Each structure stands twice: as structure tokens, then as C-alpha cells.
A and B are shown apart, each in its own frame.
Chain A
Amino acid sequence: MTPVEQHPQHVDAGAPLRGGQLAVEHVSHEYVSPGRRTPALADVSFAIQAGRVCCVVGPSGCGKSTLLGLAAGLLSPSSGRIVWDGEAVRLGPNKHIGMAFQQPGLFPWLTVRENVAIGLRTRGLGRHEARRIAEEFLATVGLADFQDAYPSQLSGGMAQRVGIARALALQPRLLLLDEPFAAVDAFTRLKLQQELLALLRRYRPTVMFVTHDVAEAIAVGDMIVVMSARPASVLRIIPIDAADRNRASPAFARKLGETLECLGVTQ
């Protein structure tokens, strides 16, 4: 079965599939500091098919961000491994990833355009090419008029758009999102979710999206991985169909109820 048949909403007939497959295999992780071991993940396993969007939900502080850090190669797992396209992810900068964070982490000394271009420059693109691509992606997120602004002049929602443009401009095969919309107001969040969906349809990377907003997870994801409290393990994997995404539909309510119940929040 192709993704086209299974997930009509995510399909743009012309867009080539960019993403690869990510497999999390029996991953455990603990943070070790002098005199203390803090377990964060306990035997986590799941897989994301190429080009799918996997939302990871769970109680705050459960280790969701740790999972992203491991997938990005920012951390190395205590045991188990994360496999990208058949190869174990190694510690250090990895060329296939793009990442966006809850605090967008824009460099305050660079303009918006330079913030988007710097990742491309780091990956060896020439100045003009990097600039052209940065402008293209800023236009895509509706910030063409703010290229010369500094991050301090942006609203929270705009800064978050820049963060996403910066990640997408790298044209990553794996996009890692760490609660990117958690710090913006509810209305902006809904708008950003819609924009993100459109962008994902266009560029089709594989996505791991960490959020604590279950409705957001259903609206954006192809699957939801529900995690337990720390140390996090997988409680359930819930598939999401296009029909579930309509917030007004009974199907949406059912998925919401199922996820919340799994998280121990009964209505």
C-alpha cells in the first residue's frame, strides 16, 4: 500500500517523497551526572515510514525531547539504537536532519534572512545560493517583508515561522519538531498548524513532531506515539486517518478520547 492511498490529505501528486524511514529500536536513555542517574527513556521502540508524520505525546518532562535529541544525533542513547534508512544515527551534526524548537533559538545578531541562510552556508552552499534559498523559504512562510528584520523585532508567531523556515530550507529528509508551537497563542497555533501541514505536503520529509497538545497531534500526524511518564515508554501507537483530522467530526473526538484515556486523562 502506498502512502497515497492511505493518506490522501498528505498528498501532492507532484511532490517527490524526500523522507526516509526512521526506526527507534529498544532505546533507553539516562542522564548521568555526578552522584545521580536520571532515567529518561525506557525501552522505546517504534518506526516511522518514509514521508509520514509521527506525533509524540506524553506528560511534560517525560523524555520526549530526549527522544528528538537522540534522533538528531545531539545525544547518544545509553542502550538500543536509532536507525535512519538502514544506518544507525551517529553523534554529531547529521546532514539529513532539520530541527525546530519550542524556543525558536534564532541568533539575535543575525537578520531573519541570515538566520535561515546560516544553516545552508554551514552545509557548504555559496553565499548567493544560500541567500536565494533563504528568501524562497521565507516567502513560503509569509515573511518576505521581514528578511532584513532582527529576531527581536518579530512576534512569537513570526519567530516560530522563521525557525520552521530555517529547518525546511535545509530541505531535510528528516524533520524534527520539538513543541514548536507551544509558546504561541492558541489562534496563531492553529494557523501555524495549517501552514505546517501545507509545507509538509509540499516537501514530504519524514517528521517526528513532539507536542503536548493532543488535538494538534491529531490535526498534523499520520500516527501518534503515546508515551508514559518518566522514564518514558510507549503506551500505545494510534494511527490517524485523513478523516480523523476534521476537528468538528466525531472521528476526531474519538481519537482525542482514545489518546487522552491512554494518557490517563479521562473525560
Chain B
Amino acid sequence: MKIRDTFLLPLAGVALVLAVWQSTVVLYRLPGIVLPPPWDVALALLQLTGTQAFWRDVGVSLFEFASGFTIGGLLGVAIGVAIGESRTFRLASTPVVESLRFVVPFAWIPLTILWFGTSYTGKIALVAYAVFFVMVVSTARAVAAVDPTLSRVGTALGMGRWRLAWSVHVRAAAPTIASAARAAAAIGWIAVVAAEYIGASAGLGLMITNAASSLATPVVIAGMIVIGLIGAGVSALIGWLARLRLDYR
């Protein structure tokens, strides 16, 4: 049962996708430039991992992501808590937060290129922005939704307002905040790669657009697979950390 659940079923899903892919190539006699067969992509991937340039690109993208995620995440949680705790702050910030959060990160790409060029800074700002809005909204909601009995208990135990906010509300909201962080990481990672597609001096997105302009389709698809794998890895890492620190059931 365990083997079936952890290996066989997931592998069956991957195998199915590969089979559909391979048969599409064969049935429609697609040239490698349009859609290379899975095997060619696997070879391209293997070749990529042997080059220094590839690891540098991965490193750049991950660095941009991690910096932006940390900045946006910390700011988002801090402001989210303030919104959840203080009516004044909530009323003052609602119009800004509620309208800006619908301006997707991609809408900012032209401006970030204008302001920061193709440097790291623009990508970091973009990720921070994307992550920030997810975290602000979820944190504010999670903090406000904490069981009021816990607040009354905290006050009855002698906690002042900020002690209550930190030791009770944030702690009680932590599991919700952690799952928001997972969603935010996905959006942040997507934002990094998207920004690199449009204007970058290094990174996975640039690697893929370069490969596309030289018609190296297997490399393009290999790069896309790497993006997917890293995204899944980051998401799993955050989930694992959250379980490690927050599992008390």
C-alpha cells in the first residue's frame, strides 16, 4: 500500500503524460524544432546539468526568489498583523491594499525594467511585491479569525495588547499563514521566471528565451521542467518546515 501510494501512483501519472507526449510526436510526425520527443529533452536536461552556466542561472533565479520572498513575506506578515489588530490601520490601508492586490506582478514588469534595468533588484522587488500581497491579505484574515475565546483567555491571563497579538493571535494563525506562504512562494517563483523571460541579464527565464531564439527546443522544454521541479521543491520545503514547527495535533 505504502509503495503504491508513494511511488507507483505518482509514477503512473508521469508515465501517462510522457506516453501522450511521445505518441503525439510520433502520430503527427512533428519535427524536433516544434516538439522534440521526451528522450531528446531528457538528453538536453542531462547535458544542461553538466554546464556551469546552467547552475549559475538556477542560482541567480533562486537568489532573486529567496530574497524577494523573505522581504515580501516578512513585510506582508508584519503589515497583515497590524491590519488584523488595529481598526485604524485596517481602515487606512484597505483602499490601497484592496486595489493594488489585483494589479498582478506581471503588470509591473515594464516599470521594473524601466526603474531597475535587467538587474537582480527588479526581480527581487517583483517577487517581494507578489509575495507581499498574498501574505498581507491572508495574515490579516487569519489573525482576525482567531477564536475570540483565546483572546479573552489571553487577556484574563494578564496579556497586554501586543503580547496578545504576538503570543496568541499570530501563533494561532501560524498554520494558516504557513499555507499562505506556500501559495505565495508559487506565485513568487512564477513572477521571477516571467520577469526573466522579458528582461534579464541572467537566470532560468533568460536561459530559456536564449534557447528559443536559437531554436534549441529541447533545451527550452528542459528549462521549463527545471522551473516546475524547483517550484515543487520550494513548495514541499515550506510545507515540511511548517509541519516540523507547527504540528501539534
**Chain A interface residues toward B at CB < 8 A:** 69, 72, 74, 92-95, 97-99, 101, 103, 105, 107-109, 118-119, 122-123, 150, 152, 166-167, 170, 176
The answer to whether A170 touches B152, judged by C-beta atoms less than 8 angstroms apart, is no
Q: A109 to B171, Cβ gap below 8 A? A: yes
The answer for the CA separation of A122 and B168 in the assembled complex, in Å, is 12
Known: A93-B158, A97-B156, A122-B159. A105 touches B248 (CB 8 A): no
CA distance A94 to B157 in the complex (A): 8
Which residues in window 120-153 of B have CB below 8 A to A? 147, 149-150, 152-153
A118 lies within 8 A of B246 (CB): no
Cβ of B152 and Cβ of A105 under 8 Å apart?
A: yes
B contacts, CB < 8 Å to A: 147, 149-150, 152-153, 155-160, 163, 167-168, 171-172, 174, 246, 248-249
Q: Given A109-B248, A152-B248, A101–B159 Cβ distance below 8 Å?
A: no
Check A122–B163 contact: CB distance below 8 A.
Answer: yes
> Could you pull out 8 A-B pairs where Cβ atoms are within 8 angstroms?
A93-B159, A101-B149, A107-B168, A107-B171, A109-B171, A109-B174, A122-B163, A152-B248
List A contacts of B168 (CB < 8 A): 107
Indicate if the CB atoms of B155 and A105 lie closer than 8 Å.
no
A78 to B230, CA, bound (A): 58
Q: Which residue of B lies closest to A65 (CB)?
A: B152
Bound-state CA distance A170–B149 (Å) is 19
Measured in the bound complex, the distance between the Cα atoms of B248 and A123 in whole Å is 25
The complex places the Cα of A103 from the Cα of B153 at a distance, in Å, of: 10
Contacts of B163 in A (CB 8 A): 122
Q: Which are the 4 A-B pairs with shortest beta-carbon distances?
A: A119-B157, A99-B156, A105-B153, A105-B149
Distance A72 CA – B158 CA, assembled complex (angstroms): 10
Bound CA span A98–B164, Å: 17
Q: Which residue of B lies closest to A150 (CB)?
A: B248
Which A residues are CB-close (under 8 A) to B249? 108, 150, 152
The CA of A109 and the CA of B249, in the complex, are separated in Å by 8
By secondary structure, the B interface counts as helix
B156 proximity list for chain A (CB < 8 A): 72, 74, 93, 97-99, 167, 176
For A176, list chain B residues within 8 Å (CB).
156
Complex Cα gap A103–B159 (Å): 19
Cβ of B158 and Cβ of A74 under 8 Å apart? no
Kindly identify which residue among B152, B158, B171, B174 contacts A122, using a CB–CB cutoff of 8 Å: B158
Given contacts A109-B174, A152-B249, 12 further A-B contacts (CB under 8 A): A72-B156, A74-B156, A97-B156, A103-B147, A105-B149, A105-B150, A108-B172, A109-B171, A109-B248, A119-B157, A170-B157, A170-B158
The interface residues of chain A lying within 8 Å CB-to-CB of B172 are 107-109
A93 touches B149 (CB 8 A): no
Chain A, residue nearest B249 (CB): A152
* Shortest beta-carbon distance from B174 to chain A in Å: 8
In the assembled complex, which residues on chain A have CB atoms less than 8 Å from the CB atom of B167? 118
Let me know if A93 and B150 touch, CB within 8 A.
no
Contact assessment for B150 and A123 in the assembled complex, using a CB-CB cutoff below 8 Å = no
Establish whether residues A119 and B158, one from each chain, have CB atoms under 8 Å apart when the complex forms. Answer: yes
Q: Are B157 and A118 in contact (CB under 8 A)?
A: yes
How long is the Cα–Cα vector from A176 to B152 in the complex, in angstroms?
Answer: 12
A105–B147 CB distance below 8 A: yes
Residue of B149, B160, B168, B171 most packed against chain A (CB within 10 A): B149
Residue of A whose beta carbon sits closest to that of B175: A109
Shortest Cβ distance from residue A239 to the other chain B in the assembled complex, whole angstroms: 28
Q: Are A108 and B153 in contact, with the CB atoms below 8 A?
A: no
Is B158 a contact partner of A123 (Cβ separation < 8 A)? yes
Pick the contact of B149 from A72, A97, A103, A109 — CB < 8 Å?
A103
A93 B160 Cβ-Cβ under 8 A: yes
Chain A contacts for B174, CB-based, 8 A:
109
Contact B155 A74 (CB under 8 A): yes
Interface core residue of B153, B160, B246 (most chain A CB under 10 Å): B153
**How far apart are A99's CB and chain B's nearest CB, in angstroms?**
4
Q: Which residues of A contact B149 (CB under 8 A)?
A: 101, 103, 105
Complex Cα distance A167/B152, Å? 13
Contacts of A107 in B (CB 8 A): 150, 153, 168, 171-172
Residue among A93, A101, A108 having the largest count of chain B Cβ atoms under 10 Å: A93
